[in-house]
Amino acid sequence: MSKVYHISSEELSLEVLNTLLSENYELALSEEAARKIEACRAYLDEKMAADQRPVYGINTGFGSLCNIKISGENLSHLQENLVMSHACGTGEKVPEAIVKIMLLLKVQSLSYGHSGVQLLTVQRLIDFYNHDILPVIYTQGSLGASGDLAPLAHLALPLLGRGEVYFKGEIKPASEVLNHFNWEPVTLQSKEGLALLNGTQFMGAYGVWSLLQGHKLSYLADLIGAVSLEAFDGRLEPFNKLIHEIRPHKGQLDTAARILEFTKGSELAQQEKKNVQDPYSFRCMPQVHGASKDALDHVTRVFGTEINSVTDNPNVFVEEDEIISGGNFHGQPLALALDYMGIALAELGSISERRTYQLISGLRGLPAFLVNDPGLHSGFMIPQYTAASIVSQSKQLATPASTDSIVSSNGQEDHVSMGANAATKCLRIVENLKSVLAIELMNASQAMAFRRPLKSSERIEVFLEKYTAEVPFVDQDRVLHDDIEQTKKFIDSLSVTSEMLGA
């Protein structure tokens, strides 16, 4: 029997989202949410019947056409036209996992009863989620300001029996999939198109996915960094809590404690050291990794607020008898946070590549390029090139998108967040970081073999045993692309845990 999560006013946290996604929960509306949605729709219908004055997005045009009044008989057609005309995304297809998060976040936002949608519309979005009917959406087209208009239009198209969806491993016309389930297309009522298209769920879904992966990779940066420290015959004194208690940034404290926990009981750590100090890439892991942790924590708080908010426009307040047009769709909080996360994750890659460089440099008794018979064999010379190239690209991608703005909609939308661009490039930085950490893990594991028979801690030895079962020691040159890809698969196979999320 499937597990079911009931959408309600209860806070949707990153940890809850991780559980829903990893354990394949189905969604359902709570009685409270269904009641709020129905009450809001009924209020809106009564309001429009009693008062014919123009209300933005309900009986007017959109954007700079907001002053054009639309007659009552055309309101449904208006909403359908809105969805079709705004579905003009381009570029690469959004990953299916992120589309699924978009569906969940859109349902959550609509469930608060401030959007004026039909219960049927929300239920159909839930049906899509539960049956893995995932609209085909494109990465380019959103300014991250009047909502993620183009991506959310593509999310909404299948409700009308238009557009394409992923279903059972294939891309199919939405109309075909609706027929498969004997579902009629939804006839949108006044305001519904705008409620579906206004919102930050594209930025939000990218942010949620990047945060889940980012917290995981931050944890693995500590673990893989600890392996590298051991392989480099590094010192543990820089992780002593006394140092960090007199500069008590939370991330710094947590990183130092974690490195000590990872290396507890290590024979390598306990042996007498010949070097008085280690390079910064080892010695300053608490300060550098810790700063990125603190950034991730800040971004998590921003997204925690966002995914539990109403972000369409206008907003309907039933009890107050108000319909108010505002700007909750503006993505500036997310744009800044996504840029910050991108910078923080790029830095984890930057320091990781430096540890890789130190490991292959023929220092501290390790052979040059971590291979027997260097010269005949190039060993791990070129993976460092690859890591350096990737790190350089991440630095370029870390240039903020949120500092840009281009006027749109004939001047009506004259400041935009560019948060969607921040979102898509942040995900690229996440993927780049995974590759760079994979290369460090390859090098650290290889270097550890040259420290035998001494052993590291039980924690690290178990981790390396699992890893080397997938990617064994490189005795002579082979195609290292395959090893990098296999290492990335190994990283992908590790689940996101509560410990990684700091829960």
Using the 8-state DSSP alphabet, how is residue 181 labeled? T
**Cα angle value 282/286/291 (rounded, 5°):** 120
Pick from 487, 455, 459, 492: nearest CA to 472: 487
13 burial (CB, 10 Å; 0-12 / 13-18 / 19+) is middle
Sole residue written with tokens 């009931």: 6
The total of other beta-carbon atoms located within 10 Å of residue 161's CB is 17
**Cα angle value 7/13/18 (rounded, 5°):** 90
Backbone angles phi, psi at 462, to 5 degrees: -65, -45
Q: Are 160 and 437 in contact (CB under 8 A)?
A: no
3-state helix, strand, coil in the chain (%, to 5): 60, 10, 35
Distance, in Å, from the CA atom of 503 to the CA atom of 498, rounded to the nearest integer, reads: 5
Q: Which amino acid is at 46?
A: E
Backbone angles phi, psi at 256, to 5 degrees: -60, -45
Q: Are 87 and 150 in contact (CB under 8 A)?
A: yes
Cis status, amide bond into 54, omega within 30 of 0: no
Q: Are 93 and 199 in contact (CB under 8 A)?
A: no
For residue 316, give the 3-state DSSP assignment. strand
Distance, in Å, from the CA atom of 164 to the CA atom of 182, rounded to the nearest integer, reads: 17
Which tokens belong to 212?
A: 């889940």
Outline where 266-331 has alpha helix (H). Answer: 267-270, 280-283, 285-306
Sole residue written with tokens 């010949």: 274
Which tokens belong to 42?
A: 């009924």
β partners of residue 29: 7
Residues with catalytic function = 56
Backbone angles phi, psi at 352, to 5 degrees: -65, -45
Q: Are 228 and 149 in contact (CB under 8 A)?
A: no
